[in-house]
C-alpha cells in the first residue's frame, strides 16, 4: 500500500496507489459502549438456565478495563530489577504454580471401576472363555486397559509445559499486537471458582484456529486459574506430536473409542474420574470454524455425552459450563496451510517462519468467557419441559416446495412418533451443544477487519471511498452493540480504519483519483475473495434475523406484478409464511436455533427485528375499525386462553370479523442500502443451496454414493461455477456439506449409515427432474441478484 507506482483501473483512468495517512479527515473517537457499560455477551438461555443467569451473573462486569495478556513486565512478577526486566517472560512463567496432575492411584481407580470389570467379563464370555477365567480378569486385561489409558493421556511434564508456554509468549508477541482479555469476565471466573471449589469447570470453546489449543490454557494460566485438560481429536496429529501434546495436558479419544466396548468404557470412566477429582476440561465444539457454518465436531459430541452420563448417574454432582469465544484479526493459518501443523516437523517449520524477521503482524486477538451455567440445571429443565418431537422437515416443508400444500399453515404436519431412550439422550446432548455453540459464537468479538470485509464484499463490491468507510464505522458498530455482540476495538475512528485496511492489504488495493479521493477496491483473485468472505462471515450471526427477514421480503417482492407503486404493503400472514419457509430451509449449523425456541416465536422475533431496523412499519387499514376501539367488542363471560404458539391477534376474541395486520415496506435510500446489504450477507449460503439443487438437476446421482464423495463432487462444481462469475465466497466445502445435510433432512436424499460414513441415495420423489426444478425455484426466490 505504500508504493507510488501507477496502475490502470477498470475505468481506464490513471490513478496512483497511496498509503492512507494524512488525508485531512476529522478525527473522531469510537467508544464501544452503550451508555456507560459494555454489552453483556454470551448469556445462557433464559428458558433452560434461569437460575444460572441469576447466580452466575457478571457481578463485577462494571470493571471495564482490558488486559493485554501477552504484555508481560516486571510488575507481573514478584521481583524487580534490571535483570528481571530483561528476563520478565522467564520469571513470569517459572513463577506460576505448575498444573495439577491426576492422583497417583487414578489408574487403579479406573481398573477397579465396576463398569470396566463388567465390560471385561462380557468380552471374556463372548470369546467363549471358561467361566472361571471370564469372572476373574487376567493380567492381559489389565495391560489392555493400561494401553488404552496410554492412548488417552500421559503424566504431565512441568518443565516441558513451562518451556512451551515461554515459546508461546514469544510467538504471540511476534504475531499479534495484543491479546485482549476482559477484566470483568476474569473476575467472574474467580468468583465462580471460589464459590464452587469442588465443582469442575468445562470450557466449551469456538475453534477458529489451531492456536486455540494453546491460547485458552495460557490465558487461564496467566490469570492464576486452574488450567484444564484439553480434549483433542486423535486423527489430527502424528505419533510424535501426540506424545508431546499428552505431556502438555492434552487428552485424546482412543482409536475406535466409540466402536469397541472396552475402549468406550475406559474413556467414559476416565472422564468420570477426571471430573470427580475436580479437574477442569477444555473441549472445542468445532473441528475448525468455517465461513457461515458452525458444525459440532464428533469429538465434542463424544465428550458431551460422557459429561451428561456422569451427571445423570450421580457420579458428579454438577458441572459448570463456560462457553468461550475467540476472535482474530487474521488467523495464523494465513501464514501456512493448517494441515502441515499436524506433524512435529510441520510445527517446527511454522515456528521457524513465524520468528523470521520478515514475518508480519496479524493484528489483534481476543478471548471472551461467556456467563457460566449449570449442566445439572439444564438437564432438569430439559427433562421437565421436554415434549414429543415436532414434525420433521420432510413433512413440514417438502409439500410446500412441491406445491401439494400452498401454505405452511394449511394443515398441521404429522408429528413424529415417540422417541426411544437413545433418541431422547441424543436430543439432550445435541440441544446442549447447540446452546453452548450459540453462546460461544455470540460472545466472540467483531474485529475491524471483519466489519470492513463485510462492507467491501457485500455493500461496496465495485469500490468505495475511504471517507465513506470512515462514516460507516460508527453506525455499524452501534448496530452490533445493540444486537448484544461486542467489538474488539476502540479509539480514534481513523486509526481503526487504517488498522483494518492494513490487515486486508493482500485482499484490497487503494487508489487515489485526480480529485484526490482515495478509493478501496477488492482484488478479484480467488484467495482475496475467500479471505474477505471468511472474515465477513463473522457478521452473519449478528444480523442473521434481519438477513432472513430481508430475503423473505425479497421473495415477496418477486411475486408482485410491478414495483412502480408508491407504497408496498404485506400482511402479517404473508411475511410470517415466507420467513417460516426460509427458517425451515436453513440448517441448524447456520441458524444455530436452539431446540427450546419455537419456530413460530422465531418468526415473530424476525418480524420485530424488521420493524425495529425500519425495513417494515406497521400500517392499519383506514377503512377498518381502529384497533383501540373497544366499542366494537362484545364482552364475554368466559376468559379465552390461547396457546403460546398461536400468533393470531389476541384482541380478536369474540369478534366475528378479524382485522388483518399490514406492514409497509420502507423505501428510503437508507432502507434500500441496508436491505441490499442484508440480502448479500445471506447470499453465500443461499447460492450454495441453489447450486447444490442445480447440480442435482444437471448431474443427478446414479445408485449409491458415499456422502463424502458426493460433497467432494459438489465442491468441485461450486469451484467451477465460481471461476465463471468470481463468486468464490460461496464455494466453501463446509457450505457444500451443509447443503447436503439439509437435503438429507428435506428428503431429497436417503441416508444409510455405514462403518466408514453415510451412503446417499436419491429418493424416489426427486428422481423426477420436475421436482428438482421446483426445489431450485423455491431456493432462487430468496436470492438477491446484483
What's the half-sphere exposure (Cβ side, CA atoms, 13 Å) at 681?
28
Give the cell for residue 476: 455499524
Tell which wins on pLDDT, 553 or 260.
553
Tell which wins on pLDDT, 35 or 278.
278
Position 719 confidence tier, pLDDT thresholds 50, 70, 90: very high
Residue 124 has pLDDT above 80, yes or no: no
| Cβ contact 459:673 at 8 Å | yes
Give the cell for residue 121: 467379563
- The predicted pLDDT at position 137 comes to 65
- Cross-strand pairs, 321: 202, 373
| Cβ contact 462:342 at 8 Å | no
Q: Provide the angle, in degrees to the nearest 10, between the axes of the packed helices 599-613 and 572-585.
A: 120
| Cβ contact 281:205 at 8 Å | no
Tally of CB atoms within 10 A around 14? 11
- Model-level pTM? 0.88
CA dist., res. 298 & res. 108, Å (int)? 29
- Please compute the mean of the pLDDT values over residues 523-541 and round it to a whole number: 92
Average pLDDT, the chain: 81
The tens digit of pLDDT for each residue in 591-635 reads: 998 888 888 889 999 999 999 998 999 887 656 656 555 554 444
How far lies 5's CA from each of 19, 21, 612, 616, 685, in Å? 12, 17, 47, 48, 38
Order of strands, sheet of 704-706, starting from the edge strand that comes earlier in the sequence: 704-706, 757-762, 749-754
| Cβ contact 287:589 at 8 Å | no
| Cβ contact 193:206 at 8 Å | no
- Alpha helices for 371-511 (secondary structure H): 375-385, 393-396, 398-402, 421-442, 448-458, 466-482, 493-503
CA dist., res. 444 & res. 423, Å (int)? 31
Residues 6+ apart with CB under 8 A from 405: 399, 411
Position 652 confidence tier, pLDDT thresholds 50, 70, 90: very low
CA dist., res. 294 & res. 325, Å (int)? 13
In what helix (H) or strand (E) does residue 492 lie, and over which residues does it extend?
strand 491-492
Burial class for 125, CB neighbours closer than 10 Å (0-12, 13-18, 19+): middle
Give the cell for residue 623: 377503512
- Phi–psi pair at 328, nearest 5 degrees: -130, 140
Q: Which of 16-30, 424-438, 554-568 has the highest average model confidence (pLDDT)?
A: 424-438
The tens digit of pLDDT for each residue in 750-781 reads: 988 887 788 999 999 998 889 999 999 999 99
| Cβ contact 227:99 at 8 Å | yes
Residue 562 has pLDDT above 80, yes or no: no
Nearest to 310 by CA among 119, 113, 155, 144: 113
The tens digit of pLDDT for each residue in 288-339 reads: 767 778 989 989 999 999 999 999 999 999 999 999 999 999 888 754 444 5
Amino acid at each position: 500500500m505504500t508504493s507510488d507506482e501507477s496502475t490502470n483501473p477498470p475505468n481506464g483512468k490513471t490513478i496512483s496507489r497511496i498509503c492512507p495517512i494524512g488525508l485531512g479527515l476529522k478525527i473522531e473517537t469510537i467508544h464501544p459502549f452503550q451508555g456507560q457499560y459494555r454489552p453483556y455477551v454470551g448469556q445462557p438461555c433464559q428458558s433452560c438456565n434461569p437460575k444460572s443467569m441469576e447466580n452466575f451473573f457478571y457481578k463485577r462486569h462494571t470493571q471495564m478495563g482490558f488486559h493485554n495478556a501477552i504484555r508481560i513486565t516486571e510488575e507481573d512478577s514478584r521481583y524487580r530489577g534490571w535483570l528481571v526486566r530483561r528476563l520478565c517472560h522467564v520469571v513470569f512463567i517459572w513463577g506460576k504454580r505448575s498444573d495439577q496432575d491426576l492422583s497417583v492411584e487414578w489408574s487403579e481407580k479406573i481398573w477397579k471401576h465396576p463398569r470396566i470389570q463388567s465390560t471385561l467379563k462380557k468380552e471374556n464370555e463372548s470369546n467363549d472363555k471358561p467361566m472361571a477365567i471370564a469372572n476373574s480378569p487376567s493380567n492381559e486385561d489389565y495391560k489392555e486397559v493400561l494401553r488404552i489409558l496410554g492412548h488417552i493421556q500421559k503424566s504431565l511434564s512441568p518443565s516441558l509445559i513451562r518451556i512451551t508456554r515461554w515459546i508461546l509468549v514469544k510467538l504471540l508477541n511476534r504475531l499479534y499486537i495484543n491479546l485482549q482479555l476482559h477484566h470483568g469476565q476474569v473476575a467472574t471466573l474467580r468468583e465462580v471458582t471460589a464459590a464452587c471449589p469442588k465443582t469442575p469447570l468445562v470450557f466449551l470453546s469456538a475453534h477458529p484456529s489451531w492456536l486455540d489449543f494453546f491460547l485458552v490454557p495460557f490465558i487461564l494460566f496467566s490469570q492464576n486459574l486452574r488450567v484444564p485438560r484439553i480434549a483433542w481429536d486423535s486423527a489430527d496429529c502424528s505419533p510424535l506430536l501426540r506424545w508431546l501434546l499428552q505431556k502438555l495436558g492434552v487428552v485424546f479419544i482412543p482409536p475406535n473409542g466409540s466402536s469397541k466396548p472396552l475402549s468406550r468404557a475406559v474413556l467414559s470412566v476416565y472422564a468420570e474420574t477426571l471430573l470427580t477429582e475436580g479437574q477442569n476440561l477444555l473441549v472445542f465444539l468445532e473441528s475448525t470454524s468455517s465461513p457461515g457454518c458452525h458444525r459440532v465436531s464428533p469429538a465434542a459430541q463424544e465428550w458431551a455425552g460422557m459429561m451428561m452420563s456422569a451427571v445423570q448417574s450421580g457420579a458428579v454432582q454438577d458441572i459448570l459450563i463456560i462457553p468461550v469465544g475467540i476472535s482474530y484479526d487474521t488467523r495464523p493459518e494465513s501464514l501456512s496451510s493448517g494441515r502441515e501443523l499436524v506433524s512435529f516437523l510441520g510445527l517446527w517449520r511454522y515456528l521457524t517462519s513465524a520468528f523470521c524477521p520478515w514475518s508480519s503482524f496479524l493484528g489483534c486477538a481476543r478471548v471472551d468467557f461467556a456467563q457460566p451455567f449449570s449442566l445439572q440445571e439444564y438437564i432438569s429443565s430439559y427433562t421437565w419441559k421436554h415434549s414429543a418431537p415436532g414434525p420433521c422437515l420432510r413433512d413440514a416443508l417438502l409439500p410446500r416446495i412441491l406445491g401439494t400444500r400452498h401454505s405452511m399453515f394449511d394443515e398441521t404436519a404429522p408429528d413424529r412418533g415417540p422417541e426411544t431412550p437413545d433418541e431422547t439422550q441424543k436430543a439432550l446432548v445435541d440441544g446442549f451443544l447447540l446452546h453452548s455453540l450459540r453462546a460461544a459464537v455470540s460472545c466472540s468479538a467483531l474485529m475491524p477487519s471483519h466489519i470492513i470485509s463485510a462492507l467491501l464484499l457485500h455493500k461496496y463490491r465495485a469500490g468505495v471511498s475511504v471517507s465513506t468507510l470512515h462514516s460507516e464505522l460508527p453506525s455499524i458498530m452501534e448496530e452490533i452493540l445493540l444486537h448484544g455482540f461486542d467489538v474488539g476495538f476502540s479509539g480514534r475512528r481513523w486509526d481503526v480504519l487504517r488498522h483494518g485496511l492494513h490487515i486486508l492489504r493482500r485482499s484490497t488495493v487503494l487508489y487515489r483519483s485526480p480529485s484526490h479521493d482515495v478509493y478501496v477496491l477488492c482484488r478479484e483473485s480467488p484467495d482475496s475473495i475467500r479471505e474477505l468472505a471468511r472474515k465477513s462471515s463473522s457478521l452473519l450471526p449478528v444480523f442473521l434475523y434481519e438477513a432472513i427477514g430481508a430475503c423473505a421480503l425479497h421473495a415477496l417482492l418477486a411475486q408482485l406484478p410491478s414495483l412502480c407503486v408508491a407504497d408496498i404493503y404485506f400482511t402479517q400472514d404473508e411475511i410470517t409464511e415466507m420467513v417460516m419457509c426460509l427458517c425451515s430451509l436453513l440448517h441448524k449449523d447456520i441458524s444455530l436455533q436452539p431446540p427450546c425456541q419455537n419456530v413460530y416465536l422465531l418468526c415473530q422475533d424476525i418480524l420485530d427485528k424488521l420493524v425495529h431496523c425500519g425495513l417494515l412499519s406497521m400500517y392499519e387499514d383506514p377503512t377498518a375499525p381502529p384497533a383501540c376501539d373497544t366499542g366494537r367488542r362484545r364482552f364475554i363471560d368466559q376468559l379465552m386462553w390461547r396457546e403460546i404458539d398461536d400468533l393470531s391477534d389476541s384482541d380478536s376474541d369474540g369478534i366475528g370479523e378479524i382485522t388483518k395486520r399490514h406492514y409497509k415496506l420502507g423505501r428510503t435510500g437508507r432502507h434500500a442500502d441496508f436491505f441490499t446489504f442484508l440480502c448479500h450477507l445471506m447470499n453465500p449460503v443461499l447460492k450454495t443451496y441453489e447450486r447444490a439443487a442445480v447440480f442435482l438437476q444437471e448431474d443427478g446421482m446414479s445408485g449409491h454414493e458415499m456422502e463424502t464423495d458426493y460433497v467432494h463432487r459438489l465442491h468441485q462444481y461450486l469451484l467451477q461455477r465460481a471461476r465463471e462469475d468470481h463468486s468464490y465466497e460461496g464455494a466453501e466445502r463446509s457450505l457444500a456439506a451443509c447443503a447436503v445435510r439439509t437435503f438429507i433432512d428435506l428428503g431429497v436424499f436417503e441416508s444409510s449409515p455405514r462403518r466408514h460414513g453415510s451412503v446417499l441415495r436419491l429418493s424416489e420423489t426427486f428422481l423426477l427432474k420436475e421436482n428438482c426444478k421446483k426445489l431450485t425455484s423455491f431456493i432462487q426466490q430468496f436470492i438477491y441478484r446484483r
